[in-house]
Structure 1
Amino acid sequence: MSRLRAVALTLGCTAAALTMTMTTAHAAPGDTTNMCGSTLTPSGFVDVQWWNSAGCGSGFNPNSKQVKQLTGLPVGTVVNACASTWPPAGWTIVSSFYSSSCNYSAVPSFNNNSWQLKRVS
């Protein structure tokens, strides 16, 4: 019986992982998705907000994030993003600033933690 439980748990985790991958892979330009902070930000996305959620564990560290799909947005588009991930290719950092929604550390400071990004190519 315990072997059956292990197989069921493995299949459930695999299905959840595929669902998360498929959700972000089919996102339209500008769409946002919420995920646990321990999950790597997918290619073409940037982090736009961090917070604490019981659904992603416990502790004092922000453990949940919202990511935004930048792939497909037109040249000249400007977006604000957390400095917790680098901008995708074709995007440049225009300025940096502090945002309370981008505190992704257990010991936040008032230092710049966000960027204004612009699509250049």
Structure 2
Amino acid sequence: MNWYRRVGVALTASLLGGLMASGTAGAATPKDVCGWTSTPVGWVEVKYWDSSRCGSTGGGMYNTKRITDTSDVAAGGTVSACTYSPIPSGFHITRYSSVSDCNRSRGTSDYHNRVGLVNLAGLPKGTTKTICGLFEVPAGWTVHSRSKSVDCQQYKYGYPSNDNTMTIRKS
């Protein structure tokens, strides 16, 4: 393999490695599908755009999405998804942020468009995790504390006025 090819392979591996979510057991190969296609159970949406492959691109919403299987995300592992994505069973939101890949349309929004998710399924008793929200306590977990966090604010601007985060402990 010549020098240019090695550098290209190393650069590609480095870029892809930076895009991988931490805590995954082995990332599944993403699939590009038309936007009107249902996202399968256990998969998340990670990118939206227009593609002539999926028909007319004249509407307000992008017509293509990239989806990724989360079945290989280990207990306690994390993955990022667009906020419009279904959240797989056992996963809970840990933070909100914004990236251009998760813009579902050409318009702008005052709300974040990406979530960080943690897989709580299979974690041992006594484990603590901090998740966004206050009302939906996962089954088998108890609330240890509640607080405010900019990471858990869906709105892009300002500081949260109310508690929006809870630290939970596996019972």
Fold-level similarity (TM above 0.5)? yes
Which band: TM-score by shorter chain? 0.7 to 0.9
| 1:1-121 equivalence runs, <5 A | 12-13=32-33, 17=39, 21=43, 23-57=69-103, 58-83=108-133, 86-105=136-155, 109-120=160-171
**Following the alignment from structure 2 to structure 1, what is the Cα–Cα distance between the partners of residues 128 and 135?**
16
The alpha-carbon deviation at position 39 of structure 1 amounts to: 1.2
Select the structure with the greater relative contact order (CA < 8 A; seq sep ≥ 6): 1
Figure out how many residues of one structure are paired with residues of the other and give that number.
110
Larger Rg: 2
The TM-score, its normalising length taken from structure 2, stands at 0.56
Deviations 1:31-71 (A, max 9, x none): 10000011122111110110112111141211100000011
Supply the RMSD in Å over aligned alpha carbons.
2.8
The TM-score, its normalising length taken from structure 1, stands at 0.76
